[in-house]
Chain A
Amino acid sequence: KAGVTQTPRYLIKTRGQQVTLSCSPISGHRSVSWYQQTPGQGLQFLFEYFSETQRNKGNFPGRFSGRQFSNSRSEMNVSTLELGDSALYLCASSTLEGDTQYFGPGTRLTVL
């Protein structure tokens, strides 16, 4: 069974632009969670989707948004990029709440 895939793997943007990251979960997994990883703040939860509904959201500004499609694939969008948004963005999938989360390789976003 294929693992979690994330595209693109690397991305360079400039301040003020917006970006969309994509995550394809493991087949059969319906929950997708997103995390931001930075050296200063560590791993922080962004949001979680299950069956196209956002069920949980971390403490991030409204510039960070996401969605999930009927095939469980998920996208996250960051608008009006700031230098501090430079990070590794990790996506994880699981079958349901409280189950093990399996992570993708991440998307490395650099904001110049």
Chain B
Amino acid sequence: AQSVTQPDIHITVSEGASLELRCNYSYGATPYLFWYVQSPGQGLQLLLKYFSGDTLVQGIKGFEAEFKRSQSSFNLRKPSVHWSDAAEYFCAVDSTLGRLYFGRGTQLTVWP
């Protein structure tokens, strides 16, 4: 069965520091992978996606993610975090027929 694990429930970083959010997935075939971000009381905004090809994908707001099949991982990174990046981040894997499986999310706090 498909599943997504985000091992870090809460991460705190200082503004300007680098960031890596971890995501591991379980999926039988070649996965379609996504990272979404959610601000309080809002919907989910797509940061980036991986379908195939280059395993390093670039997204919006300076985020990137690397797909590593051997480790079943799709970690999200940003070289320098801004205070406005504080939000909750969700990793997701696409199943069939319009169903996304989400991780439990990682809450990011940014210290000034």
Of chain A, the residue at the smallest CB distance from B94 is A98
Quick check: which of A14-22, A50-58, A76-84 contacts chain B, the rest being far away?
A: A50-58
Q: Are B99 and A56 in contact (CB under 8 A)?
A: yes
How far, in whole Å, are A57 and B45 apart by their CA atoms in the complex?
Answer: 23
How far, in whole Å, are A32 and B100 apart by their CA atoms in the complex?
Answer: 12
Chain B interface secondary structure, helix, strand, loop or mixed?
A: strand
Within 8 A of A (CB), among B74-112: 90, 94, 96-105
B10 to chain A, nearest CB (A): 13
How far, in whole Å, are A101 and B104 apart by their CA atoms in the complex?
Answer: 18
A31 within 8 A of B: yes
How far, in whole Å, are A31 and B98 apart by their CA atoms in the complex?
Answer: 7
Q: What interface size band does chain B fall in?
A: 20 to 34
Question: Which residues in A have some Cβ–Cβ distance to B below 8 Å?
Answer: 4, 6, 31-33, 35, 42-43, 45, 48, 50, 55-56, 58, 90, 92, 94, 97-98, 100-106, 108
Given A42-B105, A98-B32 in contact, is the A105-B99 Cβ separation under 8 Å? no
Q: List residues of chain A with CB within 8 A of the CB of B90.
A: 43
How far, in whole Å, are A31 and B86 apart by their CA atoms in the complex?
Answer: 31
New contact pairs (11) apart from A101-B100, A103-B36, CB-CB < 8 Å: A4-B43, A33-B100, A43-B90, A45-B99, A56-B98, A92-B100, A97-B97, A98-B32, A101-B34, A102-B46, A104-B43
Q: B36-75 toward A: CB 8 Å interface, digit per residue (1/0)?
A: 1000011111100100000000000000000000000000
How far, in whole Å, are A58 and B45 apart by their CA atoms in the complex?
Answer: 22
